[in-house]
Structure 1
């Protein structure tokens, strides 16, 4: 992952819910009536500046001042919990979408639809991305997902077409593996990066996170094992993050990779690299390629001040409006959440249209399990490590299902 985008972190421990339940009562500190605060993870200078400009525009439109308080992405949840305990929550918190259910489950967030925000024009997958148990708590400005990146020159020289199915991907990866160059690079490390990268294979094959030992999930992990057995994947894939994968691709050590748009800025620094992008191959021709949604959502904490919450809702509506979405997405290489903004984005950045196509069928990791996602993530991480270093996929995933169910 790159810059501020912690698109695939697991949520905070569920003990946080107990903390929230205990502290989300009572009076908060006195607030400056015309100054509204947004807690986010825009610590990178560029993204901090872009967010400040957007907040200035929305603040001017609404007649208030909007300020951001930025901390590293890994600290947003803990910072918000500390602020909740001292009754000093900000007016808006920009959570990683996988963390949002923890606050929502404890009753710590406000239903955005009650504040006047509509989900009209937003794809169902992105609505789910910002929802918990059917209630819309988080508005996304833009989202990211995974896609297949490929080296145009390498594929052209080898006479290999961009693959669209699993069989084609396996055959292409075999042909493109030469010397120190592997046909494909992906992250199967023991962290959320690996889980994020496995979900397109699990979901596209009809697998489900509620039954990790199901035959469709086993088949998906067997496919990864087959790529490794072919020699098309490096054995180091079990240790690689998505940033490592991008480094291998840029160094010419991989002809193709699974990665996301947060790598585009870095890819473009190597002028000699002619790269292309396509949807992740599906198990069979005509099947949907279903990838995970990543990114952040803007939420309004329940601070006990309905009037401030209504104004905070209007700020969120502005920041997540079509105009601001498009502005932000064009700078950050993300895809606008709004369908009309995404259509304009496709025309403005035609080389990345495959990302918009992938987003159209993408899913939220927490849509089915909500705050229970971390247990599944941790269980899958262990399963990858075991299966790709010798254990059968079936045995590794059976143990993963038991671990996910028990929470241990």
Structure 2
């Protein structure tokens, strides 16, 4: 999840030089049978489960050379490589980057290349469709939820099923703090990562992205600001990223934590549970769709055979046969209901996430390129609220 939409082009050339030995560029005559595959998962090295799985999707006669790198580096290096007509063949882009990549002419129509996009959830696929053309295919999504520590809640006399809106959530946090424990952790760090965690409260208040300074938006800011002012949340939320916020929760001192489905496995090990984030007046608050989209970068020098092979890689990873494995390997929920339901049936840890994923909203789906400025405004307002 989770990264800035704004391009940081300065340094792209340097990044590409650093990656040159690892295949920063795309195919040349010398490696026509090598598919260059970029993703934003540098934590997975050569031989890891994800790396091995990706390479297993190489079409007959081809091999896949995978390169993982940080989110911003993916977009920056892609910009440089397309300009030099040396782009990779398949790139997984964080979903808020899609309008920027399309506007810059970095990626192409995947349906025209032969990728089957039928049957996927509209809400998850939204960021990949720009002006009616599908430039990326989301294989799945991660999501945000409200984790809780059952032992702390039991001691505080809090029934998690009673948390259905903001009032009942505030009451529960107060009971937890009054019992001697700490309240809630979340990430409010400057930039897209903090905005990502703020959006469920923003949307849950009824706010709209095209009106980031609305009264509803201010109510969401006040909610999280009050948590800090009352000592229910640590002051560090203004600088904590999602990993730091989770580390605080793992201490066992806090009753609640807003965090992602990618933490489900570690939460299970600690005995923590999760409920959907409540909207202000009840119901499940929309969360932003998390995750990446598979794209086909632009090659100025036509490579029809290579593009067809690259499309086959995406098809392999998103077929009904393999979609569950693609998502399970990354800790995501599939972007197809039938596969998602099968995941939940096979692994009960996914059950609490179904509603959140199915009600999730794309950050750029309705506002496109404008999201970059909207996100910056939301981040600025959030920082002001948390530090006031």
TM-score bin, normalised by smaller chain: 0.7 to 0.9
Q: Structure 2: which 5+ runs fail to align?
A: 14-26
1:227 maps to what in 2? Answer: 227
State whether structure 2 residue 310 is matched by structure 1 residue 312. yes
Deviation at 1:63, TM superposition (A): 4.1
Deviation at 1:46, TM superposition (A): 5.9
Deviation at 1:279, TM superposition (A): 0.6
Deviation at 1:185, TM superposition (A): 1.3
Q: Tell whether the 8 Å contact from 1:14 to 1:102 is kept in structure 2 after alignment.
A: no
TM-score, with length taken from structure 2: 0.88
2:273 maps to what in 1? Answer: 276
CA distance in structure 2 between the aligned counterparts of 1:148 and 1:214, rounded to whole angstroms: 25
Q: Tell whether the 8 Å contact from 1:123 to 1:339 is kept in structure 2 after alignment.
A: yes
CA spacing shift, 1:47–1:371, aligned 2, 3 Å:
farther
Q: Equivalent residues in 2 for 1:126-205 (5 A)?
A: 126-162=124-160, 163-178=163-178, 181-205=181-205
Deviation at 1:15, TM superposition (A): 7.3
Match of 2:375 among 377, 398, 402: 377
CA distance in structure 2 between the aligned counterparts of 1:288 and 1:239, rounded to whole angstroms: 27
CA spacing shift, 1:56–1:244, aligned 2, 3 Å:
closer
TM-score, with length taken from structure 1: 0.84
Match of 2:2 among 8, 16, 26: 8
Partner SS state of residue 384, structure 2: helix
How many residue pairs get aligned? The number is 370
CA distance in structure 2 between the aligned counterparts of 1:265 and 1:155, rounded to whole angstroms: 20
2:293 maps to what in 1? Answer: 297
Task: Please report the RMSD computed on the Cα atoms of aligned residues, expressed in angstroms.
Answer: 2.4
Deviation at 1:369, TM superposition (A): 2.5
2:115 maps to what in 1? Answer: 117
Q: Tell whether the 8 Å contact from 2:42 to 2:69 is kept in structure 1 after alignment.
A: yes
CA distance in structure 2 between the aligned counterparts of 1:31 and 1:281, rounded to whole angstroms: 55
CA distance in structure 1 between the aligned counterparts of 2:307 and 2:44, rounded to whole angstroms: 28
Deviation at 1:365, TM superposition (A): 1.1
1:25 maps to what in 2? Answer: none
1:298-346 CA-to-partner distances (Å, cap 9, x unmatched) read: 1001213233222211211111223322113223321112221101011
CA spacing shift, 1:50–1:92, aligned 2, 3 Å:
same
CA distance in structure 2 between the aligned counterparts of 1:66 and 1:323, rounded to whole angstroms: 20
CA distance in structure 1 between the aligned counterparts of 2:182 and 2:190, rounded to whole angstroms: 21
CA spacing shift, 1:228–1:344, aligned 2, 3 Å:
same
Partner SS state of residue 177, structure 1: helix
1:59 maps to what in 2? Answer: 58
